[in-house]
Structure 1
């Protein structure tokens, strides 16, 4: 199982002790603001189990993120294949952190490490990132990562019901070589 270490963070496989804070994160309306309905504890656990299976199968996926100094679980970051039915294909970077972890630069730090893994270890030619048009915090992270967007790539996510979360923006990054 691949682990990724940054100066402050450890991206690692999921542990049983992550499930309760993961469920709490996904029951937080602010964390879920741009993601859709709150998750039940059972739904949150099922998603963590899927992340574990993806990591075991592919060698990449959504790693649990912990703060190295404290061992505190703060969310996830990683890479995922774009779901079928989307208007594009490829591998997408993603992250989700507990509200208490916002504003510390953790999302950018974790995502930067994920991009390096995708380009340097997997050999990806491009990594995508997607968020709702209203999620300015995630878009700011994408910008700090050097990802770019083209309004012509904006789309209505077919997996999201009609409403304010359906309009999405697509960011792209190629390796810095």
Structure 2
């Protein structure tokens, strides 16, 4: 399974040492603002185990993100097939970072590496990104990546509680647009 490298970041397999910072990140209400709940340590550890299993099984998925200069774990980014109960199909790009990593451009930098991997190594024709309509920071990352919103497939998440977490927006980037942009 390949590690992905950028100027400042290493996208890699999950390590035992990631579990504490991952759990702390998922217990932070600001990091989990656009999710129904924060996660317990057990839930965080289970998700990291699923992410690592996906990486081992497919050779791609949700990578742990490390800052190369410090070796600090700061979150995750990657690609995953869209869940079967969604109103569309494809492969989704995503990211989540710990609050101290916000505002440094890490999400965009890591996601660019993931998009390049998806298009150049996996040969994907298109990559999607999905977020809650109110998550403007994540949508800004999507636009910086060259993705465009596709309102025709925006949807209401039936598993989310009524309220602001229910409406989701979908962004797309086609391989040919990625190539034309010289990304």
Q: Does the alignment pair 1:168 with 2:163?
A: no
Q: Partners in 1 of 2:89 and 2:162 — Cα distance?
A: 22
Query: Does 1:135 pair with 2:139?
Result: no
Rounded to whole Å, the distance in 2 between the matches of 1:76 and 1:69 is 17
Structure 2 gaps of 5+ residues are none
Cα shift at 1:117: 0.2
CA distance in 2, matches of 1:151, 1:89: 15
Question: 1: CA distance between counterparts of 2:84 and 2:29?
Answer: 27
Aligned to 1:69: 69
TM-score (norm. length: structure 2):
0.95
Q: Indicate conservation of the 8 Å contact 2:88/2:153, yes or no.
A: no
Rounded Cα–Cα distance in structure 1 between residues aligned with 2:89 and 2:119: 17
SS of aligned partner of 2:32: coil
Cα deviation, 1:117-157, whole Å, max 9, x if unaligned, reads: 00000000000000000000000000000000122221102
CA offset digits 1:96-117 (Å, max 9, x no partner): 0000000000000000000000
| Residues 60-110 of structure 1: CA deviation (Å, up to 9, x unaligned) | 100000000000000000001111110001100000000000000000000
1:38 alignment counterpart: 38
Q: TM-score, normalised by structure 1?
A: 0.98
What are the ranges of 5 or more consecutive residues in structure 1 without an aligned counterpart? none
* Matched residue count: 177
**Kept in 2: contact 1:86–1:158 (CA 8 A):** no
- Conservation of the 8 A alpha-carbon contact between 1:66 and 1:73: yes
Alignment of 1:113-128 (within 5 A): 113-128=113-128
1:84 aligns with: 84
Deviation at 1:164, TM superposition (A): 1.4
Q: Secondary structure at the match of 1:32?
A: coil
Aligned to 1:57: 57
Instruction: Decide whether the 8 Å contact of 2:61 with 2:78 is kept in 1.
Output: yes
> Could you list the runs of 4 or more consecutive aligned residues of structure 1 that deviate by over 6 angstroms after TM superposition?
none
For residues 4-54 of structure 1, give each alpha carbon's deviation from its aligned partner in whole angstroms, at most 9, with x where no partner exists: 000000000000000000000000000000122000000000000000000
